[in-house]
């Protein structure tokens, strides 16, 4: 969507192709037929450091449909119900989080001193270090920097599972250092949290649709790309599942890597460029949506330690139209071991945990449970994944790559998706600049561009 809007802005004739009958990709919502509530395919959170995503929301005029904290504040409870918070105060970075680390009751003082040392080391890293540190796991980095098992479990896992969708032993140290420095250390407001105030699809899909229509771009929904047709070394057309085809001068793929590779001819798929992406992996997220017969939670959201219930979002409060406190979304990231559980087992596990963590749920009646498992929720930023992420420019002169898994440096986020779309659009514009004489306001220029996905 970001690539399509940017290219349409620049005057290219764009067709945005999507296999499903609706836009939104991995960040979408639907109306639950039983409760009538907007249900996200999974809670999506962004941070103020997600500058490209925020700029995209602003360009579409939908910033007011999101809530953004004026400073970071996350309450973290342990199994005994003891709260502690991570909060930013008005001190210059990287000191803005210092008071909350000093008062963080889930770690002993000795660990806090070591955490402060590790944070200082992270603060001093730069892009070169992140690339160099990509081969080892963040757990190996933490151990090498004196972090105790308690600090790993009670602080670092909390930050990394939520942002990188995997445990610290499965995340590249380079990716984790990038996330912690960018989000938590280099700007006092970098980690302010943001949420959509309604279902994800209503946040920006109507506006993207209108934005493209105003720029004479076309939407081709429900069209699944099966392959590309070629003219020599250049891509010439998309071939769809229903046998139809669509010609264009240039193509931007925004497909996830595991959906892009089957679309390519075997010699490209296995070749030295695209073949690198074949060893990327994905990681699952499970969201358990629960409706109770009465309010069971006051806070907007809470994080929990020592429990499979990592985060609970009070959708009733976040979504302004839903009854407050009675609709919760339990979000479980890096959810490999929970993904394989059946619905009854997952529901029993989560409601049992909630009875301990949020005792009011034990007194209330559960009205409905809706579980959404996303197997390929994100690409997995595993150790060594950096060099498997491909750049926007490919060996095919008129094929460009977008998608959150491409070489943006960011973990799998909406921010990475928007950055990648922008990078692909810019690469295309550099390689195939429009002749200004062909740009007629409101008309489709001679050069047409397809953006898939």
User: Phi then psi for 53, rounded to 5 degrees?
Assistant: -65, -45
Give the whole-angstrom CA distance, residue 206 versus residue 184.
Answer: 33
Contact code string over 197-226 relative to ligand FAD, x by CB under 6 A: ---------------------------xx-
Report whether the peptide linkage leading into residue 94 is cis, meaning its omega lies within 30 degrees of zero.
Answer: yes
Cross-strand partners of 227: 239
Cβ closer to ligand FAD: 15 or 147? Answer: 15
The C-alpha angle with vertex 151 and arms to 170 and 191, in degrees rounded to 5, equals 75
Among 40-48, 138-146, 148-156, 336-344, the segment contacting ligand FAD (CB under 6 A): 40-48
| DSSP conformation letters of 91-140 | S-TTGGGHHHHHT-TTS-HHHHHHHHHHHHHHHT--HHHHHHTTSSBHHH
Least separation in angstroms between CB 345 and ligand FAD: 19
Least separation in angstroms between CB 125 and ligand FAD: 22
Least separation in angstroms between CB 46 and ligand FAD: 5
Is residue 267 classed exposed, middle or buried when 0-12, 13-18 and 19+ CB atoms within 10 A define those classes?
exposed
Contact code string over 434-453 relative to ligand FAD, x by CB under 6 A: ------------------xx
**Residue 42 lies near ligand FAD (rule: CB under 6 A):** yes
Give the whole-angstrom CA distance, residue 445 versus residue 448.
Answer: 7
**Continuous H helices in 181-335:** 200-214, 257-260, 266-269, 315-318
Q: How far apart are the first and last CA of the chain?
A: 8
State which of residues 13, 190, 194, 403 lies at the interface with ligand FAD (CB under 6 A): 403
Least separation in angstroms between CB 222 and ligand FAD: 9
HSE on the CB side for 232, CA within 13 Å?
Answer: 3
Strand order across the 193-196 sheet: 46-47, 193-196, 66-68
List binders of ligand FAD among 378-397 (CB under 6 A). 378
List binders of ligand FAD among 244-273 (CB under 6 A). 254-256, 259
State which of residues 235, 248, 285, 358 lies at the interface with ligand FAD (CB under 6 A): 285
List binders of ligand FAD among 10-29 (CB under 6 A). 17-20, 25-27
Cβ closer to ligand FAD: 412 or 422? Answer: 412
202 and 64 Cβ atoms separated by less than 8 Å = no
**Residue 374 lies near ligand FAD (rule: CB under 6 A):** yes
**Residue 412 lies near ligand FAD (rule: CB under 6 A):** yes
Least separation in angstroms between CB 268 and ligand FAD: 16
**Residue 190 lies near ligand FAD (rule: CB under 6 A):** no
**Residue 424 lies near ligand FAD (rule: CB under 6 A):** no
State which of residues 15, 29, 38, 41 lies at the interface with ligand FAD (CB under 6 A): 41
Cβ closer to ligand FAD: 198 or 415? Answer: 415
**Residue 349 lies near ligand FAD (rule: CB under 6 A):** no
**Residue 400 lies near ligand FAD (rule: CB under 6 A):** no
11 and 18 Cβ atoms separated by less than 8 Å = no
Cβ closer to ligand FAD: 45 or 366? Answer: 45
**Residue 35 lies near ligand FAD (rule: CB under 6 A):** no
Cβ closer to ligand FAD: 94 or 183? Answer: 183
Cβ closer to ligand FAD: 26 or 142? Answer: 26
Strand ranges inside 119-278, DSSP E:
193-196, 218-221, 225-231, 234-240, 245-247, 250-253
What per-residue string of b and e applies to 129-168 under the rule 16 or more CB within 10 Å gives b?
bbeebbeebbbebbeebebbeebbbbbbbbbbbbbbbbbb
Cβ closer to ligand FAD: 246 or 297? Answer: 246
């Amino acid at each position: 969507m970001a690539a399509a809007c940017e290219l349409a802005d620049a005057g290219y004739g764009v067709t945005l192709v999507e296999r499903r009958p609706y836009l939104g990709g991995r960040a979408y919502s639907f109306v639950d037929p039983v409760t009538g509530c907007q249900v996200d395919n999974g809670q999506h959170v962004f941070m103020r450091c997600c500058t490209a995503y925020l700029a995209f929301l602003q360009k579409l005029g939908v910033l007011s449909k999101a809530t953004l904290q004026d400073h970071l504040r996350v309450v973290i409870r342990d199994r005994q119900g003891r709260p502690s918070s991570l909060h930013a105060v008005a001190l210059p970075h990287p000191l803005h989080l210092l008071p909350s680390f000093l008062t963080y009751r889930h770690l002993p003082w000795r660990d806090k001193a070591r955490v402060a040392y590790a944070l200082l080391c992270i603060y001093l890293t730069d892009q070169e270090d992140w690339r160099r540190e990509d081969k080892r796991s963040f757990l190996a980095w933490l151990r090498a920097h004196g972090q105790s098992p308690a600090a790993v479990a009670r602080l670092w896992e909390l930050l990394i599972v939520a942002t990188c969708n995997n445990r610290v032993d499965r995340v590249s140290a380079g990716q984790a250092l990038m996330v912690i420095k960018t989000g938590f250390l280099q700007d006092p407001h970098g980690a302010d949290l943001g949420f959509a105030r309604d279902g994800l699809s209503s946040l920006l899909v109507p506006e993207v649709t209108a934005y493209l229509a105003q720029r004479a771009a076309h939407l081709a929904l429900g069209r699944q790309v099966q392959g590309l047709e070629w003219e020599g070394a250049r891509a010439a057309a998309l071939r769809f599942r229903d046998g139809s085809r669509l010609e264009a001068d240039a193509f931007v793929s925004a497909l996830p890597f595991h959906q892009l590779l089957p679309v390519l001819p075997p010699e490209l798929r296995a070749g030295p460029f695209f073949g690198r992406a074949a060893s990327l992996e994905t990681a699952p997220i499970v969201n358990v949506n629960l409706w109770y017969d009465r309010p069971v939670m006051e806070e907007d959201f809470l994080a929990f330690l020592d429990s499979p219930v990592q985060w609970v979002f009070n959708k009733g409060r976040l979504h302004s139209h839903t009854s407050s406190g009675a609709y919760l979304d339990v979000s479980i990231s890096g959810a490999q071991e929970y993904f394989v559980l059946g619905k009854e087992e997952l529901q029993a596990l989560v409601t049992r945990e909630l009875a301990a963590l949020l005792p009011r749920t034990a007194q209330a009646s559960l009205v409905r449970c809706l579980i959404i498992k996303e197997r390929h929720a994100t690409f997995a930023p595993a150790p060594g994944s950096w060099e498997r992420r491909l750049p926007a420019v490919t060996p095919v002169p008129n094929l460009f790559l977008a998608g959150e898994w491409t070489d943006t440096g960011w973990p799998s986020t909406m921010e990475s998706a928007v950055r990648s779309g922008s990078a692909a659009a810019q690469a295309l514009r550099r390689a195939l600049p429009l002749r200004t004489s062909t740009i007629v306001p409101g008309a489709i220029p001679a050069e047409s561009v397809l953006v898939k996905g």
